[in-house]
Structure 1
Amino acid sequence: MSRPPRHDEATLLDAAVRLAAAGGPAAVTMSAVARESGAPNGSVYHRFPQRSALLAELWLRTLGEFHDACLPVFAEHAEPHLAAGAAARQVVAWSRAHRERAVVLLHGVEAFGRAEWPAAQLRRERQAARRVRQAVTGLAERLGAETPLDLDRVSLAVVGLPLAVVRRHLHAGTPLPGHAEELAERGAIDLLRGGGS
């Protein structure tokens, strides 16, 4: 049985996450990833032919992990306000458990050179965006949202608000307060109930 490669894609992307979290997307270079992972430069180029492919995979893997953890929560409660609160709570909980990955996402996709990504990665990014839209739209429908304002309110409650709860602390390098999950959950429910949805 052949041994798995020492410097596989996951190992290299883990190194890229650490670099991006510490120094921003600009810190993620081919040579920096090689140093951080202990891999030869050739191993990095073998997995990622150019830096744009590396940045794309870094973003897409991190985003996929976030979506896999958070989007299923939308459907876990029959009562849609509670579903929204649970989804908002999960965004904060995931960010607490995966601080470096959350910092990566807070930089935004454009900071990872989206305009230069290969076509295959751009297609995957569009698929990920559709997945989020479908989850938010489905929740909005359950809440009886009918207008663009209603839909934006739902998006704010389950995406914008919990990200605002974590952003300040992650950017400052300070711990998330113990009540951050509760703040996001209550804020989402209050926003949606107060908005008449």
Structure 2
Amino acid sequence: MSAVAKTVGAPSGSVYHRFPSRTVLLAEVWLRTVERFQHGYVRALDESPAAAARHVVAWSRTHPQEATVLLYGPHDFGRTDWPPEYARRADDGNARIRAALTALTGNDPAAFDRAFLALIDLPLAVVRRHLRAGEPLPPHAEALAEESAAALLAGGES
């Protein structure tokens, strides 16, 4: 907490006033980041699967530091120790994403898994190595995510 206060140039007491513990600080960092991402993602998915795949890459391009945070999971941010209201926020966000994908795929578990892979896992794979290396995303990254997601989703129709 002292390092955070020093980095932001605030008295450590003000950091503790806003975030009473390291656990709460980590929870807030994770949740703020994932909620910002999910807000745009759900809107993009309402538009089309292609827009959702592109959103992952475009958002990561625009917000590389936040996107790097999302390469880790909530458990890397101490999820098991979060106070209940923070865990509930995380669960609510996950439920929104699951509901949006279920609306797209119906109650078919295989179709849901295919959509999850095509629209979440695959676009994250497009950005992961670049973000971890601190490199800019290539200009064709959005198109690659969209084309790959479309091919994977089309494969489920045979």
Q: TM-score, normalised by structure 2?
A: 0.96
Paired residue secondary structure (2:144)? helix
Unmatched tracts of structure 1, length 5 or more: 1-29, 77-82
Alignment of 1:112-127 (within 5 A): 112-127=77-92
1:24 — aligned with what?
none
- Aligned counterpart, 1:60: 31
Pairing 1:13-162 to 2, within 5 Å after superposition: 30-76=1-47, 83-141=48-106, 147-162=108-123
Q: AA paired with 1:123?
A: R
Per-residue deviation, 1:107: 1.2
* Aligned mate of 1:171, from 132, 138, 143: 132
Question: Which residue identity does 1:128 align to in structure 2?
Answer: G
**Take 2:116 and 2:96, find their aligned partners in 1: how far apart are those partners?**
13
How far residue 177 of structure 1 moved from its aligned partner, in angstroms, is 0.6
CA distance in 1, matches of 2:98, 2:32: 19
Task: Give per-residue Cα distances to partners, 1:133-159, cap 9 Å, x unaligned.
Answer: 011111113xxxx53221100111110
Alignment correspondent of 1:12: none
Query: Based on CA coordinates, which of the two structures has the bigger radius of gyration?
Result: 1
Q: CA deviation at 1:110?
A: 0.6
Instruction: Determine the structure 2 residue equivalent to 1:187.
Output: 148
Deviations 1:159-188 (A, max 9, x none): 011000001111111111100000001111
CA deviation profile, 1:99-126 (whole Å, cap 9, x unmatched): 0000001011110001111111011111
Runs of 4+ residues over 6 Å off in structure 1: none
* Alignment length (residue pairs): 158
Cα deviation, 1:58-88, whole Å, max 9, x if unaligned, reads 1110011001111111112xxxxxx111100
The corresponding residue for 1:25 is none
* SS in structure 1 of the partner of residue 20 of structure 2: coil
* Deviation (angstroms), 1:91: 0.6
2:142 & 2:39 partners in 1: Cα distance?
18
Identity rate of aligned residues, in percent? Answer: 55
